[in-house]
Each structure stands twice: as C-alpha cells, then as structure tokens.
Amino acid sequence: MINVGDKLPEATFSVLTYEGMENPTTADLFANKTVVLFAVPGAFTPTCSESHLPGYVVLADQIKAKGVDSIICLSVNDAFVMQAWGEMQNANELIMLADGDGSFTKAIGLGKETGSFGGYRSSRYAMIVKDGVVTHLNVEPEKTFGESSAETMLELL
Ligand code: BEZ
C-alpha cells in the first residue's frame, strides 16, 4: 500500500468536463500542485452521497483557502457516472475523476474486491498530495466514515 512520502504512480484517468471527455495523467493532475484527493467505493452509494462527497462540496472553499489547488473525488466508475453524480451533488468545484479500469487504485494498493456488488472498487480514503508526493493518508477502516471526511482533511491542512 502507498504510504506517506511515496510518489503517486503514473496513471491515466477519465473526466467528463463541459469541453468533453479528457484523459489527464497523474502528472497533469498533481505536478506542482497541492491536491486533496478522496476516494469512494462507488458513485451514488449511500455514505458517499449522503456524507462523503457533500462534506467536500460544503468545505471546498475553506479547503482551497488553505492553498489547495484542486480537490479530486475518485472512484472506480466511468466518467459519465462520475459527471452525473457530481452534477447532482453540485460538485462543480471538484474534479470528478474516473479510475475506470482501477489501475491507479490497484497500483497504490487501496482497492478491494466487492464481488457481486460491483467487482473491483476503491477503498474509502483521503490523501493530501504535494507535487505528486503523499504527505497525509487516511484510510477508513471497513464500514466506517470520519478519517477521510472533508472536516478531518481540513484540520490536517
Ligand atoms: C456506502 O457508501 O454506504 C456504500 C458503498 C459501497 C458499498 C455499500 C455501501
């Protein structure tokens, strides 16, 4: 599993913006930037929709006021699903990032097999990344929520 002090691996993601489908790489998203990335097991799932994502929407301005260039919500879903979820949640200040094939999630060792629920998915976690290097990492124990919340990450900034 990736740890504090490690550099994020190279990967290519998908994101659907007003300009259309884009495929940013790790370097595009993280080089020379301070980024808060949080990851969820699935778009539209209960804790993710009722608590995790809304917390970041509400605190986005406060998080960015601490010098954060971007806030990324990542899931092993496709970019159309991520865009629709973000639009429904008014997450226009966030990057709704699709790790469609789970390759980034696998490379950092923060995924899990959920079987008939949805196959390979991300664990729930949040990290602060400076110029591609992880400076804080909070992974939620199974079926809990708090360590990766927007409130917790704001306190760490
Ligand atoms: C939830 O967000 O509550 C959730 C995510 C994945 C599976 C089940 C529930």
pLDDT, averaged per 10 consecutive residues of the chain (157 residues), comes to 98 96 98 98 97 98 98 98 98 98 98 97 98 98 96 98
Task: Return the exposure string of 46-76: e unless at least 16 CB atoms fall within 10 Å of the residue's CB, then b.
Answer: ebbbeebbebbbebbeebbeeebebbbbbbb
Given a contact cutoff of 8 angstroms between Cβ atoms, the answer to whether 14 and 100 are in contact is yes
73 is catalytic: no
Q: Does residue 42 line the site of ligand 1, with CB under 6 A?
A: yes
Q: Tell me, what's the pLDDT at 70?
A: 98
Q: Tell me, what's the pLDDT at 116?
A: 98
| Closest among 118, 121, 119, 99 to 110, alpha carbons compared | 121
- pLDDT tens column, 101-121: 999 999 999 999 999 999 999
The answer for residues whose C-beta is within 8 angstroms of residue 116's C-beta and 6 or more apart is none
Residue 34 CA to ligand 1 center (angstroms) comes to: 28
Q: Tell me, what's the pLDDT at 152?
A: 98
d(CA 50, CA 82): 15
Q: Tell me, what's the pLDDT at 115?
A: 98
DSSP at 41: S
Tokens of 45: 């799932």
What's the Cα-to-Cα distance from 113 to each of 37, 53, 79, 127, rounded to whole Å?
21, 22, 20, 21
Catalytic residue among 15, 48, 96, 97: 48
* 11 DSSP β-pair partners: none
Residue 102 CA to ligand 1 center (angstroms) comes to: 17
Q: Tell me, what's the pLDDT at 101?
A: 98
| Closest among 93, 80, 22 to 53, alpha carbons compared | 93
